[in-house]
């Protein structure tokens, strides 16, 4: 009777037969022939350390025989062997705290093959990398902090400026960036080199975060005010960014209102078009509850709305406008004289320091200030156009 034998089993039988032949040949004074390994023999990891989400490679012979991959006692779901000699763990996943634990490979005969792996914890603030932002990273799990001169970071192929920051607790705290306006957008691998430890890269969203459209003056009691923000990627939580509204009638142009773009429950993520809208309940479709404000909340001009890296708690009432942490801004009015102090504080003194006029076409109640170019921190990028929340703007 013929019993089918699997290909891996044939390889093991062949290896065993070769081993017996080699033993006989050696006993007879003949040179033993070399044979391929019959079980996984991992030779190296592409990186000695990971954070949750890291992409790690294992190099070695026999990796096509691997049937399970674990980190410690946590099974890994996203892995493959795209070619002989290379196993790819697409996203390291673990919930246990930081520490050294084995990367475990189980072969088709049930044998385990372990490699030591340093598992670190990482916290990014914000988790979305916007042009002009300076994200902070907290790394937990290093035995000792590396020398600041030996801490490096790459976003894709671009080297990022890195500053080692002092702070409480055992975490290594890093300041990254600022991100240049020309940094390619999309999900991009971020790699860290911490002294002698190379951390396997992990994906972060890189975006051009912009104020897309503002409608401060609507028919009647201003029950359809809104600010639309765009980032170009869907399903992102913009926690770590905040809208701040400045009153041009205040002696210091002080803030009168600030609204976090994240930290809502459930998270208010960006739409399929990469948009997020905050405003009155009368906006259609209405913003989520955490991003609504009462009717007639926005000043009509000359005033400003600014998009900052930070949180609303950092902008109490009366806070003067600043360029620190500024991502984008719009100084606007409705047939008002230019507010030079607001313009200078937020947009500088160059040709981009333009106050946009929602009444520029004589239809302030029906029009909003809509973006017509992708220039950041430039008042010339806005024109009065028919209001249209949840609408993608300039390409």
User: Do 138 and 264 fall into the same domain?
Assistant: no
User: Do 288 and 301 fall into the same domain?
Assistant: yes
- 377 touches 260 (CB < 8 A): no
**352 is written with which tokens?**
């981009």
- 312 touches 256 (CB < 8 A): no
For residue 323, what are the domain limits? 210-386
User: Do 153 and 278 fall into the same domain?
Assistant: no
Quick check: is 111 in a domain? no
| 303-334 pLDDT per residue, tens | 999 999 999 999 999 999 999 999 999 999 99
Quick check: is 60 in a domain? no
Q: Select from 365, 210, 354 the least CA-distant residue to 300.
A: 365
Tell me, rounded to whole angstroms, the distance of Cα 287 from its chain centroid: 23
Quick check: is 113 in a domain? no
**Number of structural domains the chain divides into:** 2
- 191 touches 344 (CB < 8 A): no
Q: In this predicted structure, what is the pLDDT of residue 39?
A: 58
Q: Which of 185, 207, 229 is the last residue of a domain?
A: 207
Quick check: is 40 in a domain? no
User: Do 277 and 348 fall into the same domain?
Assistant: yes
Q: In this predicted structure, what is the pLDDT of residue 24?
A: 35
Per-residue pLDDT of the chain (395 residues; tens, 9 = 90+): 333 434 444 344 333 333 323 333 333 333 333 444 445 666 799 999 999 999 999 999 999 999 999 999 999 999 999 999 999 999 999 998 899 999 999 999 999 999 999 999 999 999 999 999 999 999 999 988 899 999 999 999 999 999 998 766 778 999 999 999 999 999 999 999 999 999 999 999 999 999 999 999 998 889 999 999 999 999 999 999 999 999 999 999 999 999 999 977 777 899 999 999 999 999 999 998 889 999 999 999 899 999 999 999 999 999 999 999 999 999 999 999 999 999 999 999 999 999 999 999 999 999 999 999 999 999 999 999 999 888 766 65
Quick check: is 56 in a domain? no
User: Do 220 and 200 fall into the same domain?
Assistant: no
User: Do 200 and 215 fall into the same domain?
Assistant: no
Distances (CA, A) of 352 to 51, 66, 130, 346: 41, 59, 20, 10
Q: Which of 207, 239, 264 is the last residue of a domain?
A: 207
User: Do 325 and 292 fall into the same domain?
Assistant: yes
**Size of the chain in residues:** 395
Q: In this predicted structure, what is the pLDDT of residue 5?
A: 37
Quick check: is 247 in a domain? yes
Q: Select from 335, 346, 336 the least CA-distant residue to 377.
A: 346
- 229 touches 210 (CB < 8 A): yes
User: Do 270 and 382 fall into the same domain?
Assistant: yes
- Cα–Cα dist 298/311, whole Å: 19
User: Do 184 and 215 fall into the same domain?
Assistant: no
Q: In this predicted structure, what is the pLDDT of residue 393?
A: 63
Q: In this predicted structure, what is the pLDDT of residue 40?
A: 63
- Cα–Cα dist 133/185, whole Å: 13
User: Do 340 and 219 fall into the same domain?
Assistant: yes
User: Do 197 and 227 fall into the same domain?
Assistant: no
Quick check: is 306 in a domain? yes
Q: Which of 148, 178, 207 is the last residue of a domain?
A: 207
Q: In this predicted structure, what is the pLDDT of residue 145?
A: 87
Q: In this predicted structure, what is the pLDDT of residue 8?
A: 42
- Cα–Cα dist 306/346, whole Å: 8
Q: In this predicted structure, what is the pLDDT of residue 287?
A: 92
Q: In this predicted structure, what is the pLDDT of residue 313?
A: 97
- 83 touches 63 (CB < 8 A): no
Residue where the block lists tokens 């300076």: 134
User: Do 338 and 251 fall into the same domain?
Assistant: yes
Task: Check which CATH number belongs to the domain holding 189 and give it.
Answer: 2.60.40
Quick check: is 313 in a domain? yes
Rg over CA atoms, the chain: 29
Q: 115: buried, middle or exposed (CB in 10 Å: 19+, 13-18, 0-12)? A: middle
């Amino acid at each position: 009777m013929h019993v089918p034998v699997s290909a891996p089993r044939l390889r093991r039988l062949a290896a065993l037969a070769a081993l017996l032949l080699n033993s006989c040949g050696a006993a007879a004074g003949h040179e033993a022939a070399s044979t391929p390994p019959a079980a996984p023999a991992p030779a190296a990891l592409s990186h000695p350390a990971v954070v949750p989400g890291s992409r790690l490679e294992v190099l070695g012979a026999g990796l096509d025989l691997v049937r399970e991959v674990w980190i410690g006692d946590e099974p890994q779901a996203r892995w493959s062997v795209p070619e002989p000699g290379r196993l790819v763990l697409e996203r390291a996943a673990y919930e246990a705290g930081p520490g050294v634990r084995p990367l475990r490979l189980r072969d088709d005969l049930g044998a385990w093959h372990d490699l030591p792996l340093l598992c670190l914890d990482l916290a990014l603030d914000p988790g979305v990398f916007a042009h002009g932002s300076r994200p902070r990273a907290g790394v937990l799990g290093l035995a000792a902090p590396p020398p600041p001169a030996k801490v490096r970071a790459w976003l894709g192929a671009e080297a990022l400026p890195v500053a080692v920051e002092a702070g409480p607790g055992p975490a290594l705290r890093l300041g990254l960036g600022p991100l240049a306006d020309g940094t390619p957008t999309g999900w991009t691998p971020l790699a860290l080199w911490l002294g002698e430890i190379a951390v396997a890269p992990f994906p972060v969203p890189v975006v051009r975060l912009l104020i897309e459209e503002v409608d401060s003056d609507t028919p009647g009691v201003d029950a359809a005010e809104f600010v639309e923000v765009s980032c170009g990627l869907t399903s992102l939580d913009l926690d770590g960014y905040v809208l701040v509204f400045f009153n041009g009638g205040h002696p210091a142009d002080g803030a009168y209102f600030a609204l976090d773009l994240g930290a809502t429950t459930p998270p208010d993520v960006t739409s399929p078009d990469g948009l997020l809208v905050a405003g009155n309940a009368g906006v259609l479709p209405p913003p989520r509850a955490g991003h609504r404000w009462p009717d007639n909340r926005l000043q009509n001009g000359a005033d400003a709305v600014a998009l900052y890296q930070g949180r609303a708690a950092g902008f109490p009432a009366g806070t003067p406008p600043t360029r620190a942490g500024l991502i984008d801004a719009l100084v606007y009015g409705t047939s008002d004289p230019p507010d030079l102090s607001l313009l200078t504080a937020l947009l500088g003194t160059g040709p981009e320091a333009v106050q946009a006029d929602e009444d520029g076409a004589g239809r302030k109640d029906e029009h909003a200030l809509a973006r017509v170019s992708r220039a950041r921190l430039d008042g010339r990028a806005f024109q009065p156009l028919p209001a249209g929340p949840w609408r993608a703007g300039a390409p």
